[in-house]
Structure 1
């Protein structure tokens, strides 16, 4: 199976759904609500709040947004027999009027008076007054005061989400990302993950924190090759790249000593990858017969080690050299485009694929890999077209046929078409009979059956995928996730996923999945260890950013759950 079809996530759970155990998706564009709606509000300070003084400063009733001196705004309306709480509420009401008129200094004085008057045992009211005063400070950009007042409000009312979110925004302004994330996480948990602005802010904090951590860690990482199984799986995603097929190996005479690229090619087919780069370098330095093939193979192995900066010069040189075979140049563009996609630059990725089409329009690998990128970009209709083109050019490429079938299934899901859904499922089943040795066909059919609730059939097909490729760990991980969803068998699922690590101890997909399960079980130490293992294996800075985001989210969730005395909920229990 080609691991990159499913992605490192191995499923449809989002970062927040996994790491923070939420049940609702993150809104992409939350609508803006009214910023301040104060039927209940408040503030702190020992200053007095007088409408008469304010009228002098504002220029009387003719000034824009002037505050009325009648009703609640008139201090003469306060009755001698009012209780302290009633007097405090009256001061708060005057503060609200000043706030709405954008007279924030006067609003602060009124909220401060309310705090001074309010009885100490009226904690809910006091919390409101402090929160309102924080709102006025926020309008003035006084974020230290915002944090102080919100903290007091939360001390009085520990589940006061409005104060928490306001404090979170103040922390964001001050650049305190972790403190911001703690408050937004608390807001999201307390409001059942229905606070859209909180979700969006928390997601941004996770990305920024993850990016900062990954940037430093990635700079100091020790490059390493992935497992041999991963390398084989990667190369199998190309029908003909010009370097990995045995048919491309020139005949070798008995006793002939292999050097340079031919030696690298032999090592590749023997599964001995450590010296491939050095032999390619030798071929390039001596301008050997196979220097272009050596450039491509050397760059490919640098990409596999997560050393994109070392791969790019070779890819660039090959792409611009018109003397090189167009198949090699197109493959270099495919790999550079995929590298751009891993870095989050989809525009550059698609530009490289368009250039590859210009160079070698009949190359099926271009459309196969562009189809995968279109799936990642949720451009499912474009992915279907690319896979169709790939199959037209090479009708015997089982992997591409399987992915074409699955893309059609995804498109039917999006269009909610029962007829297209039926046709797509039939196409997936046909793939397994037409290409009975293609493990990916069985795995993708199982994935679709899992989503359809056909658990028994899905399990059978994952088993077949395992039998076809016993050295491929990803089917074990997907099967574990199936059992988690189907039987709610956490222990059994973990055992299946750990089986993947027995096969390939460098399976980052397995480590990440185990980490997310341990988060949901509340085993944060185990989760962090799994995430750390995955981080060590990350091949790109973007992968590392994602993993750090998961790890940080898990740590913060655990901290907030303990603070609020809330047990993390598991969606599979």
Structure 2
């Protein structure tokens, strides 16, 4: 199985954990970003001064009023004392607020609420900033009493009076997150990030957390309603080629050799095998169903093939039923059983049922310890779970079973690359030469294998060897002209190399012309539109929505919803606060 779509190879079990950090892409209005191999390439940032925090309204400050009455008697002692000077409404309100602050610090939150309420009722309506402070302080007291509803209501009032009140925004964001009102929470924390110039790590972490929760919530519901869809030929071919011992695929090859171009009176299953060999995938499920309903001799194999196509078409329930029935057969060829276990295990992994998935792989190893496919596909899933040492060990096992199987060599290089990249996070070090050498050896061993060249090209780009990278991308596309994902990465190379956003966009649009089902292309284009500024944000959202409609897993869908929701939040915040979002393309020029 191919390593990861972000590295030129799409797989049905792909995991969105390899996705770009959401706040850095979806929210980073003030941070020019472009994507490259291994994660993110950051353009030089133009720092923005962090907004000053307003004073803490809950500290016990001295009263601003100097309205203490003076009791001064005349020298003769016969003049009566002067009466105390009467406090103005503003002064009375401040006095109540200060009293409330003392109660708050003493943990007497009900009394504090009464004082803040008196302050609100006494303060003149025109003194909006003071009123906003009183409402926010009362919200803080309600927060201590865990009255989320009143926290939100008082923060609403504070923000009506002072829309850029950062403490009220954060308090409302926290309360909305607790209440499950994630869209409002996201808009509030987005506003905070923008007002702070994206310089506060704590705010950014909050944004990432809210985005993740919101994306997961939306994806869980949307994934249930998604429609089955046949992926591109390149996608299916890549998946099928990740097996060396698949009995169905091997049967299709054998049938093609036997018939040698002559048509015969053959069964529905054999016709399905012919379609498989010819990469005519649309009718395979119906042909297998016909074979199964007739209860013919190839029922088990037909069910395995149909389950595979269901899996590729995102019909998970149907795929699981077919794999279960294959595995329930009393008499079953060893390779058929192992293949069904691998595919059911992969389906479990796609559903994030990791224990069940790994159990299937372990069973497959016990049944056929020399089967390369078990180690290769388990290695892939270990990569997705960021278990790089386990992945490398599995892939080394796979290579030991068959030294000429290109996908295992390439995926091992990818696992080593990812491990090295994780160890270099935050260190600003060049890509280790050993990573480049590993990919180069794959290219030398398998010069006609397009994925090897595509990964090598991305590694070269990451190392700053842009001209070499572009040449390798050209060779990869010559070998696989329908590899739209490689074309997307070539577009990103142009951005990394030449900082030319327009050229990158043009190349990626060609990938969509090549394969309209290339979800990754829409995702990257949407992210590039975000960088262009607020005028392109609507288009970015449309592109993210298109990617969502093509996404293959719930986790991938959640990631895409996060990007879309982040863009929507920016638009709403900019409109509500009257903020002009910067044009990142101009900043990056």
Q: Work out whether the TM-score is over 0.5.
A: yes
8 Å Cα contact 2:3/2:411 also seen in 1: no
CA distance in 2, matches of 1:261, 1:142: 64
Q: Determine which of 317, 320, 329 is the counterpart of 1:312.
A: 320
Which is worse superposed, 472-481 or 103-112?
103-112
Listed as ranges, the gaps of 5+ residues in structure 2 are 7-13, 34-38, 41-52, 70-83
8 Å Cα contact 1:42/1:127 also seen in 2: no
In the alignment, which residue of structure 1 is the partner of 2:376?
A: 368
TM-score after normalising by structure 2:
0.82
In the alignment, which residue of structure 1 is the partner of 2:498?
A: 487
Question: What aligned pairs does 1:450-529 form with structure 2 within 5 A after superposition?
Answer: 450-521=461-532, 522=534, 523-529=536-542
In the alignment, which residue of structure 2 is the partner of 1:150?
A: 155
Q: Structure 1 residues 11 and 212, CA, compared in 2 at 3 Å: closer, same or farther? A: closer
CA distance in 2, matches of 1:92, 1:537: 55
CA distance in 1, matches of 2:165, 2:431: 49
Which is worse superposed, 312-321 or 494-503?
312-321
The Cα shift of 1:462 comes to 1.6
The Cα shift of 1:211 comes to 4.1
The Cα shift of 1:266 comes to 0.4
CA distance in 2, matches of 1:10, 1:115: 48
Q: Determine which of 277, 280, 286 is the counterpart of 1:272.
A: 280
The Cα shift of 1:361 comes to 1.5
8 Å Cα contact 1:130/1:153 also seen in 2: yes
CA distance in 2, matches of 1:346, 1:119: 61
CA displacement 1:265-310 (0-9 Å, x = unmatched)? 0011122212211222233334433333212110010011110000
8 Å Cα contact 1:9/1:509 also seen in 2: no
In the alignment, which residue of structure 1 is the partner of 2:48?
A: none
Q: Structure 1 residues 467 and 124, CA, compared in 2 at 3 Å: closer, same or farther? A: same
- Alignment of 1:440 onto 2:451: yes
In the alignment, which residue of structure 2 is the partner of 1:222?
A: 227
Q: Structure 1 residues 455 and 124, CA, compared in 2 at 3 Å: closer, same or farther? A: farther
Which is worse superposed, 419-428 or 2-11?
2-11
In the alignment, which residue of structure 2 is the partner of 1:402?
A: 410
8 Å Cα contact 1:21/1:569 also seen in 2: no
Q: Determine which of 25, 35, 41 is the counterpart of 2:57.
A: 41
Q: Structure 1 residues 536 and 291, CA, compared in 2 at 3 Å: closer, same or farther? A: same
CA distance in 2, matches of 1:239, 1:568: 51
CA distance in 2, matches of 1:194, 1:548: 24
Secondary structure of 2:249's aligned partner: coil
Listed as ranges, the gaps of 5+ residues in structure 1 are 27-36, 44-67
- Alignment of 1:17 onto 2:30: no
The Cα shift of 1:248 comes to 4.0
CA displacement 1:30-75 (0-9 Å, x = unmatched)? xxxxxxx9972269xxxxxxxxxxxxxxxxxxxxxxxx9xx969x9
In the alignment, which residue of structure 2 is the partner of 1:425?
A: 436
In the alignment, which residue of structure 1 is the partner of 2:77?
A: none
CA distance in 2, matches of 1:98, 1:310: 63
8 Å Cα contact 2:3/2:380 also seen in 1: no
CA distance in 2, matches of 1:204, 1:413: 24
In the alignment, which residue of structure 2 is the partner of 1:566?
A: 580
CA distance in 2, matches of 1:123, 1:460: 63
Aligned residues: 536
In the alignment, which residue of structure 1 is the partner of 2:561?
A: 548
- Alignment of 1:243 onto 2:245: no
In the alignment, which residue of structure 1 is the partner of 2:311?
A: 303
The Cα shift of 1:116 comes to 4.9
Q: Structure 1 residues 392 and 3, CA, compared in 2 at 3 Å: closer, same or farther? A: closer
CA distance in 2, matches of 1:423, 1:122: 66
The Cα shift of 1:494 comes to 0.9
CA displacement 1:208-244 (0-9 Å, x = unmatched)? 4434444444444332211222211221122232222
> Relative contact order, CA 8 A, sep 6+: which one is greater?
2
In the alignment, which residue of structure 1 is the partner of 2:548?
A: 535
8 Å Cα contact 2:22/2:211 also seen in 1: no
8 Å Cα contact 2:3/2:414 also seen in 1: no
Secondary structure of 1:251's aligned partner: helix
Question: What aligned pairs does 1:157-168 form with structure 2 within 5 A after superposition?
Answer: 157-168=162-173
TM-score after normalising by structure 1:
0.84
CA displacement 1:80-111 (0-9 Å, x = unmatched)? 67887666544333322211222111111222
Q: Structure 1 residues 141 and 409, CA, compared in 2 at 3 Å: closer, same or farther? A: closer
8 Å Cα contact 2:58/2:104 also seen in 1: no
In the alignment, which residue of structure 2 is the partner of 1:59?
A: none
Q: Determine which of 327, 334, 348 is the counterpart of 1:340.
A: 348
Q: Structure 1 residues 38 and 568, CA, compared in 2 at 3 Å: closer, same or farther? A: closer
